[in-house]
Amino acid sequence: MVVQRTRAGTHAPTAGAHRQPRRPPPSPTCGPRLDGVRVAVINWRDPWQSAAGGAEEYAWRVSRHLVGRGAAVTFVTSREPGQARAETREGVRLRRMGTAFTVYPLVMLWLLRSRWRFDVALDCMNGVPFFAPLVLCRRTRVISVVHHVHDLQFDAYFSRPLAWLGRFIESRVAGRVYRDCPTVTVSESSRRAMRAKLRWRAPITVIHNGGPGRSPGQAPTGAPAAAGAPALVSLGRLVVQKRVSRVVDVAARLRYDWPGLRLHIVGRGPEAAALAAQIDRDGLADRVRLHGFLPEADRNAVLAGARLHVTASRFEGWGLTVIEAAALGVPTVAYDVDGLRDSVRDGWTGWLVRDGQSLAEVVHRALVELSDPARAAEIRRACRAWASRFTWERTGTAMAALIAAEIGPDRARRPAGRRPRGGAPR
């Protein structure tokens, strides 16, 4: 996990496509104590909702770490049918309200009512921000968390007027509201996109996603990839922007070049029915398997048994599934887009699809390269070494350090058991 803080007009150097990145500097174990510091983590969804993804994993892992450092954390989010309005999990208080859309005004009203009760708020912007600086008191430090620029992603979900409104809020309004708030993003390319597309002028800190945290020499769980017929795996939510249908197209395109090729799709989401229909229409039932959601052990077994992980996603802040695959020694083929160009080291832990190339073409080239046992072993080692650099402890430590720097040493070191005036919000 690399932490780099930059301001407008400055540029941090990036590693070349084929150069091995330098190891990030070690982080202090666990980070500073935050005893009694009251933190609101505001996120569109929680990890247990049906459409939850990497942003929810990030917010929850950070919340858990902050609790471990002594903070009183309230996770404010939307509510799906059947979910409790209020509960506590792993020391984190959850407050749920509204649907995926009504959550925004409801959370703003809730924050307005609770505006004196928090020392820090992590305002996670999933395209549309919660505008916490407008409703919380001035003494509350607001840290904006932006995983990636949504931009054209609005077009995939909304009518033209609503998509325009979403882009306008993201590109013109948010930067002004959060201009005095420190901002966190998860990759250098997302930071650059925020500067260029959103005209973001607030200080930006890069705090990467975590990962399984295995040591480079640790053997992966599950069976190793077979040396015979290759298997591809696609891991993640089955939603429009992930474009899993393109990975199914790859299986169809390569069926004659690689007669034994199999594709495993692991994940759930609203696109599952359309993918099943595509598989049936293209006569791929014997080649493509839709696993749906799998428990971690089963998912890792499928991943570890694959020769290549493939993602056709167009919008990513980082690419959590890339690191999960790499931790098991499995390289990734991905498009050369923001986020993925950071998590995939082209020619070292995977391959990037550049302009003018097709996904099937690059997957074919990768399979040829992986057919050489020596080269395959080299790439597996590189993948595990790369993935070992990213842990959730490093992520949480960096966030705790940023919070401590924002609120000052006196408030960050408040003795355990001493609760500030106002108590925890109900």
Task: Note whether 238 and 206 are same-domain residues.
Answer: no
Indicate whether 274 belongs to any domain.
yes
Whether 237 is covered by a domain: the verdict is: yes
Q: Is the pLDDT of residue 389 over 70?
A: yes
Residues 278 and 395 placed together within one structural domain of the fold: no
Could you tell me the sign of the dihedral formed by the alpha carbons of 118, 125, 386, 260, in that order?
A: positive
* 199 lies in the same domain as 337: no
The DSSP call for residue 179 is: T
Q: Is residue 240 part of a domain?
A: yes
- 170 with 187, same domain? yes
pLDDT bin (cut points 50, 70, 90) of residue 154 is confident
- The confidence score (pLDDT) of residue 228 equals 53
Assess whether 19 and 68 both reside in one domain. Answer: yes
Residues 39 and 118 in one domain: yes
> How do residues 193-228 score in pLDDT, each as one tens digit?
999 999 999 999 999 999 886 555 454 444 444 445
- Same domain as 262, residue 163: no
Instruction: Show Cβ contacts of residue 114 under 8 Å, excluding neighbours closer than 6 positions.
Output: 40, 425
Is residue 373 domain-shared with residue 399, that is, in the same domain? no
On whether residue 95 sits in a domain, the answer given is: yes
Q: What is the CATH number of the domain that holds 65?
A: 3.40.50.2000
Query: Are 183 and 35 found together in one domain?
Result: yes
Report the distance separating Cα 300 and Cα 46, nearest Å. 23
Residues 251 and 271 in one domain: yes
Q: Which residue has the higher pLDDT, 107 or 20?
A: 107
Average confidence (pLDDT) over 63-74: 97
Domains: count for the chain:
2
Q: Are 365 and 373 in contact (CB under 8 A)?
A: no
Within a domain: 400: yes
| Mean pLDDT over each residue of the chain, to the nearest integer | 86
305 and 382, same structural domain? yes
| pTM reported for the whole predicted model | 0.84
Residue 35 shares a structural domain with residue 153: yes
pLDDT at 194: 94
- Residue 142 belongs to what domain range? 3-210+391-410
pLDDT in tens, 328-372: 999 999 999 999 999 999 999 999 999 999 999 999 999 999 999
Q: What are phi and psi of 10, to 5 degrees?
A: -110, 155
